[in-house]
Amino acid sequence: MADKEKYLRIQNVVKKFGDFTALKDVSLEIEEGEFICFLGPSGCGKTTLLRAIAGLDIQTSGQVFQAGRDISALPPSERDFGIVFQSYALFPNMTVSKNVAYGLENQKLEKSQIEKRVRELLETVGLPEQGEKYPAQLSGGQQQRVALARAIATSPGLLLLDEPLSALDARVRVHLRHEIKELQRRLGVTTIMVTHDQEEALTMADRIVVMNDGVIEQIGTPIDVYRKPECAFVADFVGHMNFMNGQVVESDRIQIGSQQLAAKTNGHKPGQAVQVAFRPEDLVAVEDGDMNNAISVNLKDIEFLGSFFRADLTGGDLGQSTINADFSINLSRRVNLEKGRELKIRVPADHIRLFPMEG
Ligand code: ATP
């Protein structure tokens, strides 16, 4: 095996269902021990890509290599992975222990070795006392832990998680998030998780693969994907983003409506129409005085979101410029202003991102 060979290499994978192309020439490399999230809206191809890696659906063209081995045409049984599905997929007529032991039965182990391993696995997923129960006697979160124990029972090189948390209620979901991440770190197993939940991806992944319409839009650490989105799709899909129509004035100035702001224009040319993007939490409400890089807007509404307030804004002549309805600023305290009142907000130049106008 060549030195630089990555643990998993997906090369020019195309998947067609009849006339419809679900994956359009997808390539991706994953390091051993990484936790990767495939993130994207419904129908973007996340599950299709995961299933191609597992061999559950063979790609129409392209190749998949795992640990230097070309697994492109192998059936799932000859690949080295464990998988957890959204719907638990436990055998209802088998006890928890039997479910976990399932993959071990084919490994020519002594009965006592299997029992020992099952006990260890149930301990690992925090269910040491539940071995004799049946899946229906467990909560959703517990069933998903059993599914996890079953998936890692044979110590696979690759753990595939297909929306494993999305059927669970919010509290259990957040709790299991931490447990799965902790377990993955402890085992060091290369893991790919499919999710449409950006918070899940941001908190769990070493790197996020953002997908849209059968292609990868961006691959990066959670912080890079959030802070340095490379296209308007990623900027919009991950986190809240304000978008406005604007125009580049000079290499360091843009115009929105009749107001000008300093901004890094990063190669966009003077005169070019652009989408101007900035996040609600990067804006600063200016009391008075310092109008540096500030714009005038009007307060439309204010909502309480627990740890902060989000003020919806319209903007005098900016109103025309707003691309989506989501023009807002986060405030740490409630502003005592009646709706419609004028507000000055500063848009720090470093936090403004420009994207080419679509179409
Ligand atoms: P979701 O979060 O809704 O599961 P996804 O990103 O995982 O979405 P996929 O399940 O990968 O999406 O599906 C990608 C596209 O391929 C969708 O448009 C889907 O309708 C289509 N597709 C998936 N499986 C099949 C199939 N067996 N036959 C026909 N079309 C399919």
CATH number assigned to the domain comprising residue 157: 3.40.50.300
Residues 66 and 170 in one domain: yes
Total structural domains in the chain?
2
Task: Tell me the torsion sign for CA atoms 122, 128, 131, 135.
Answer: negative
Closest ligand 1 atom, residue 18 Cα: 29
- Write the residue with the smallest CA distance to atom 11 of ligand 1: 45
| Residues recorded for the chain | 359
Residues 88 and 147 in one domain: yes
pLDDT of residue 245: 87
State which H helix or E strand residue 152 sits in.
helix 140-152
36: number of Cβ within 10 Å: 22
Q: Is residue 310 part of a domain?
A: yes
Task: Tell me the torsion sign for CA atoms 238, 240, 246, 249.
Answer: negative
Residues 38 and 168 in one domain: yes
Residues 274 and 337 in one domain: yes
Eight-state DSSP code of residue 167? T
- Write the residue with the smallest CA distance to atom 31 of ligand 1: 17
Residues 255 and 163 in one domain: no
CB neighbours of 312 closer than 8 A, spacing ≥ 6? 299, 300, 301, 302, 303, 327, 328
Q: Is residue 33 part of a domain?
A: yes
Q: Of 177, 208, 234, which one is at a domain's C-terminal end? A: 234
Q: Of 218, 234, 250, which one is at a domain's C-terminal end? A: 234
Helices (H), 212-313: 222-227, 232-237
- Write the residue with the smallest CA distance to atom 24 of ligand 1: 48
Residues paired with residue 69 on neighbouring β-strands, in sequence order: 66
Structure tokens at 259: 């107001």
Å from CA of 140 to ligand 1 middle = 25
Q: Is residue 125 part of a domain?
A: yes
Residues 69 and 208 in one domain: yes
Most ligand 1 atoms within 8 A of CB, residue of 23, 46, 59 to mutate: 46
62: number of Cβ within 10 Å: 17
- Write the residue with the smallest CA distance to atom 21 of ligand 1: 22
Residues 208 and 332 in one domain: no
* Residue 14 near residue 21, CB atoms below 8 Å: yes
> pLDDT by residue for the chain (359 residues), tens digit each?
445 689 999 999 999 999 999 999 999 999 999 999 999 999 999 999 999 999 999 999 999 999 999 999 999 999 999 999 988 789 999 999 999 998 888 787 888 899 999 999 999 998 888 899 999 999 988 999 999 999 999 999 999 999 999 888 888 889 889 999 999 999 999 999 999 999 999 999 999 999 999 999 999 999 999 999 999 999 999 998 988 888 999 989 999 887 889 999 888 999 999 999 999 889 888 876 667 888 878 788 888 888 888 888 876 555 455 655 557 888 877 666 677 778 888 889 999 999 998 76
Q: What are phi and psi of 22, to 5 degrees?
A: -85, -30
pLDDT of residue 121: 93
Closest ligand 1 atom, residue 211 Cα: 6
Closest ligand 1 atom, residue 44 Cα: 6
Q: Of 234, 249, 265, which one is at a domain's C-terminal end? A: 234
Angle at 239 between CA 275 and CA 241, to 5 degrees: 25
Which string of DSSP letters, residue by residue, matches 72-126?
A: TT--GGGS-EEEE-TT----TTS-HHHHHHGGGGGGT--HHHHHHHHHHHHHHTT
Structure tokens at 250: 């000079």
Q: Is residue 1 part of a domain?
A: no
pLDDT of residue 1: 47
Å from CA of 334 to ligand 1 middle = 43
* Residue 248 near residue 254, CB atoms below 8 Å: yes
Residues 149 and 28 in one domain: yes
Q: Domain of 311?
A: 241-356
Residues 90 and 212 in one domain: yes
- Can you give the CATH number for the domain in which 310 is found? 2.40.50.140
CB neighbours of 71 closer than 8 A, spacing ≥ 6? 55, 64, 65, 78, 79
Q: Is residue 253 part of a domain?
A: yes
pLDDT of residue 256: 86
- Write the residue with the smallest CA distance to atom 25 of ligand 1: 17
Å from CA of 107 to ligand 1 middle = 34
* Residue 213 near residue 57, CB atoms below 8 Å: no
Residues paired with residue 261 on neighbouring β-strands, in sequence order: 254
Å from CA of 22 to ligand 1 middle = 7
How far is Cα 32 from Cα 7, in angstroms, rounded to an integer?
Answer: 5
Q: Is residue 99 part of a domain?
A: yes
281: exposed, middle or buried (Cβ count in 10 Å: 0-12, 13-18, 19+) = middle
Å from CA of 20 to ligand 1 middle = 10
- Write the residue with the smallest CA distance to atom 1 of ligand 1: 42
Residues 80 and 197 in one domain: yes
Residues 197 and 254 in one domain: no
Structure tokens at 257: 């409506």
Residues 289 and 201 in one domain: no
| Three-state SS at 188 | coil
Q: Is residue 2 part of a domain?
A: no
Å from CA of 269 to ligand 1 middle = 39
Q: Is residue 3 part of a domain?
A: no
Closest ligand 1 atom, residue 196 Cα: 2
